[in-house]
Chains A and B, each alone.
Chain A
Amino acid sequence: TQLLEQSPQFLSIQEGENLTVYCNSSSVFSSLQWYRQEPGEGPVLLVTVVTGGEVKKLKRLTFQFGDARKDSSLHITAAQPGDTGLYLCAGSHASGGSYIPTFGRGTSLIVHP
């Protein structure tokens, strides 16, 4: 079983603070994705990273894929209440000609105004 460990599990911060969420695995992934999920809704894709060492920026969000493609991080600068949600990382690994998606347990972020 390919496991993705996310940390921290919970994060409660004030508006304007910076934060980093981590996603780690002992396995190599073909690609890694970050999603954000709000209560009562399905996850929404934020970014896909595919190359070891890759860095992608999405406004105040910076995503990094580890050199060995086993870990990733999400950094949010100057967090806003609208960033509140569950952040999930997901990796896909090849298995018998298909790809099996695996999700981390998520980081629940609350940003207080």
Chain B
Amino acid sequence: DSGVTQTPKHLITATGQRVTLRCSPRSGDLSVYWYQQSLDQGLQFLIQYYNGEERAKGNILERFSAQQFPDLHSELNLSSLELGDSALYFCASSASSGPRETQYFGPGTRLLVL
């Protein structure tokens, strides 16, 4: 158990819909990262938040947005869903922000868009 929780564990929805994925970091961690993992693209970094503010941005689509709240939990919003958005979405947290920080990954949310 990494100490990072993600909900829901599974999500099935239809194209065009909007969903929200939630992540609670390990106690005391200030950084939250979001990743998308698919068979054809591997693990892709989407976005990082540090203490409530956006810190780094990766391959995140404009249809996707995220935020980190004052209690440090984070939400990833996916809108206008397409079939290709079906993937595993992971959240990870770390104590601080930097290349050598240990990232602790949550169990992921499996999203299926039909």
Contact = CB atoms under 8 A, between A and B. Distances in A.
Contacts of A31: 99-100
Interface in A40-83: 40-45, 48, 50
A34 to B, nearest CB: 12
A70 to B, nearest CB: 15
Contact of A98 (B35, B55, B103): B55
Contacts of B105: 41-44
B2 interface: yes
A44 B100 CA distance: 14
Interface string B86-114: 00001010000111101111111000000
A24 interface: no
Q: Which of B4, B99, B107 has the most CB of A within 10 A?
A: B99
Contacts of B104: 45
29 contacts: A29-B99, A40-B107, A41-B108, A42-B2, A42-B4, A42-B92, A42-B106, A42-B108, A43-B43, A45-B102, A92-B100, A94-B99, A95-B56, A98-B48, A98-B55, A99-B56, A99-B97, A99-B98, A99-B99, A100-B45, A100-B58, A101-B33, A101-B58, A101-B99, A101-B103, A102-B45, A103-B35, A103-B45, A105-B42
Given A42-B106, A43-B90, A44-B2, 11 more contacts: A40-B107, A41-B107, A42-B108, A45-B102, A45-B104, A48-B100, A98-B56, A99-B97, A103-B42, A105-B42, A106-B43
Interface of B: 2, 4, 33, 35, 42-45, 48, 55-56, 58, 90, 92, 97-100, 102-108
